[in-house]
């Protein structure tokens, strides 16, 4: 999978993709993330990519000219399956969206900044708008990092155990069950006997029951989803 990101502060994205699972995905040749500095397409020699709002109001707006020039140039080279704008008023990100995006070959993310981007970019070039929660960040870079991480780990071959992602929280609208590792007994706190039984059918049933109970307690809203 190839992911491209347009940002005015690409330095914010250097660390998230240089470590752990995302780094291994890149080393395996399974995920390629390229971050582009929007000022490369600035409207003047001073690197201008934003301007005041028409109609007045606080906050600058990212201009349509540099953004559209960047989108058109990159899309001509890579033919993106999705051009995604990261914005607080987008569709709230969830595991189902991550699953869907993981099947794409090439994605372009647009990181908003300042007061947002000129609406004409959204009207004519954006194929999907995503929010990672009901709050406002300084820009879309951290949201991009979150989504790329959630999507990248689903690509076949990225995780050492490919079945691991199938049992993550939010798959099938359930939270993951409790997990334990050695020692079996720590300060008198013992691992549930069923997990030590070797009976895979009983273990599977226990984990499903625990997932249901945990979801009912912490996120009952998930059980009401279709």
pLDDT tens digits, residue range 65-107? 999 999 999 999 999 999 999 999 999 999 999 999 999 999 9
pLDDT in tens, 160-172: 765 556 556 566 7
Q: Are 129 and 85 in contact (CB under 8 A)?
A: yes
> What is the spatial distance between Cα 132 and Cα 97, in angstroms, rounded to a whole number?
11
Structure tokens at 112: 């908003």
What φ, ψ does residue 167 adopt, rounded to 5°? -110, 15
pLDDT given at position 63: 98
pLDDT in tens, 204-222: 999 999 999 999 999 999 9
Structure tokens at 47: 């690197």
pLDDT given at position 160: 76
Average of per-residue pLDDT across 164-193? 85
pLDDT given at position 71: 98
Higher pLDDT, 58 or 160: 58
pLDDT given at position 166: 57
**Which pLDDT band holds residue 224 (cuts at 50, 70, 90)?**
confident
Residue 186: pLDDT over 80: yes
What the chain holds in terms of domains, given with CATH numbers, is: 2-152 (3.40.1280.10), 169-224 (1.10.1270.20)
Query: Strands 106-111 and 82-92, how do they pair?
Result: parallel
pLDDT in tens, 111-161: 999 899 999 999 999 999 999 999 999 999 999 999 999 999 999 999 876
């Amino acid at each position: 999978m190839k992911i491209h990101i347009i940002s005015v502060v690409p330095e914010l994205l250097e660390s998230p993709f240089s470590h752990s699972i995302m780094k291994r995905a890149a080393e395996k040749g399974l995920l390629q993330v390229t971050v582009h500095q929007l000022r490369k397409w600035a409207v003047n020699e001073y690197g201008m990519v934003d301007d005041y709002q028409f109609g007045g109001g606080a906050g600058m707006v990212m201009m349509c000219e540099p953004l559209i020039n960047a989108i058109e140039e990159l899309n001509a080279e890579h033919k993106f399956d999705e051009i995604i704008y990261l914005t607080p008023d987008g569709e709230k990100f969830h595991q189902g969206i991550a699953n869907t995006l993981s099947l794409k070959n090439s994605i372009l993310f647009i990181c908003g900044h300042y007061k947002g981007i000129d609406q004409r970019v959204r009207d004519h070039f954006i194929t999907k708008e995503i929010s990672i929660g009901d709050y406002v960040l300084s820009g879309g870079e951290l949201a991009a990092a979150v989504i790329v991480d959630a999507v990248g780990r689903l690509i076949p071959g990225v995780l050492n155990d490919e079945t691991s992602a199938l049992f993550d929280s939010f798959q099938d609208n359930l939270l993951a069950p409790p997990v334990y590792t050695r020692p079996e007994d720590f300060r008198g706190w013992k691992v549930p006997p069923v997990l030590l039984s070797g009976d895979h059918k009983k273990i599977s049933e226990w984990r499903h029951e625990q997932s249901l109970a945990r979801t009912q307690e912490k996120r009952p809203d998930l059980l009401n989803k279709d």
